Amino acid sequence: MSKGNKEWYKLIFKQNQPIHIGKSNWGVINETEIFIPGWTMWGALTNTYLRNRGFKDLNSAKEKFETITNFFPSFDGETILAPNYKDGEFCLGDFSESEFRLFFIDTSLKTSVEPILRKAKDEHLYEFDYILPAPKKEFKKTLNDKGFKDNLFWIGLIAIEKKTAEEATKNFLKKGLKIFIGGDTRYGFGELELVKLKKINEETNGNEFKQWNIDKDGKFVKNGKDDNGDDKGLRNYFQFFKNDLKFKGELVLLPEFNFTQNVPLVEKAEFFITPGSLIIDDSFDGRSFTLKKGKFQQINQEDL
């Protein structure tokens, strides 16, 4: 996308079904992530868009929605549970990861099946975590007192080229759009419904951009401040580029896969600072970073 040629929108989805966002496997436990990475939301939007168009213009469709943030849960459809770290533990808003999992994560037992005999494979029983649309019954009153309504909402930002924004918002990104994310989407999992699309701009919604560490061109800007003047945690992954970069939080290795082969191939894998972390170092040695699928990645000189 060319510089200064984007229109930004806040997307608010309502969760209609349990969702599973692949995170890591611990033996027989398939754990779910507790926020939606940008690349997962990008994949769901792109897949639905292509289906609606009969899978035409694959390459342009893949680029259409790639300037997108991660998505985080919301109790009221207005304010996200922002990622942060407290005492070394990842949190969403005022809830630690362990608390959020206690309130919203459930587990089912599954097994692999022999395709011909239609019976369970030996030693293939595993646990499958998923995020519920509403808290477990025993916690409903507690969370209702903290602003929870009927369903979890998921909120993030997306930028679309101005020349295609009208078509995209008129014919696709509109209230009532349903997309499916994560695992087991064919078995009653993963449905999100778009309940609100809000156009934003830097002049009237400048603070919104700062909260997500971006400018109107999707480039990284330093962490925003909270009401106490303290730095807020990242809401997107940030590419780690030097050994002495100072930050508080965690570092993860994120692979990028090529799914055009029968067996997915890892095209590259790089380290990223996780959402919720704080970047303390201001010396980026002239480097610029731009948002792509929930990750701030270094801009190559040839792309400028």
For residues 271-288, average pLDDT: 85
Cα dihedral across residues 230, 200, 63, 262: positive or negative:
positive
* Residue 245 within any structural domain of the chain: no
**Domain span holding position 123:** 6-215
Which of 29-43, 113-127, 222-236 shows the lowest per-residue confidence on average (mean pLDDT)? 113-127
Closest C-alpha to 216, from 233, 200, 232: 200
Burial class (CB within 10 angstroms; exposed 0-12, middle 13-18, buried 19+) of 176: exposed
CB 176 within 8 A of CB 31: no
144 lies in some domain: yes
Higher-pLDDT residue of 117 and 186 is 186
Residues 40 and 51: beta-carbon distance below 8 Å: no
Task: State pTM to two decimals.
Answer: 0.88
Is pLDDT larger for residue 184 or for residue 199?
199
> How many distinct structural domains can be found in the chain?
1
CATH of the domain at 90: 3.30.70
Whether residue 180 is contained in a domain is answered as yes
The pLDDT tens digits of the residues spanning 241-257 come to: 888 788 899 999 998 77
Question: Do residues 3 and 13 make contact, with C-beta atoms less than 8 angstroms apart?
Answer: no
Q: Is residue 29 part of a domain?
A: yes
Note whether residue 170 is domain-resident.
Answer: yes
Calpha distance 193→11 (Å, rounded)? 10
- Pairing of β 265-273 and β 251-258: antiparallel
Residue 22 lies in a domain: yes
Q: Is residue 47 part of a domain?
A: yes
pLDDT in tens, 193-233: 999 999 998 777 778 898 899 998 999 987 656 555 556 78
Question: How would DSSP label each residue in 22-56?
Answer: EEEEETTEEEEPSSB-HHHHHHHHHHHHHHHTTS-
Specify if 25 maps to a domain: yes
Most confident of 158-162, 166-170, 227-231: 158-162
For 76-104, how does the pLDDT look when each residue is reduced to its tens digit (9 = 90+)?
999 999 999 999 999 999 999 999 999 99
Q: Quote the CA–CA distance of 67 and 289 in Å, as a whole number.
A: 12
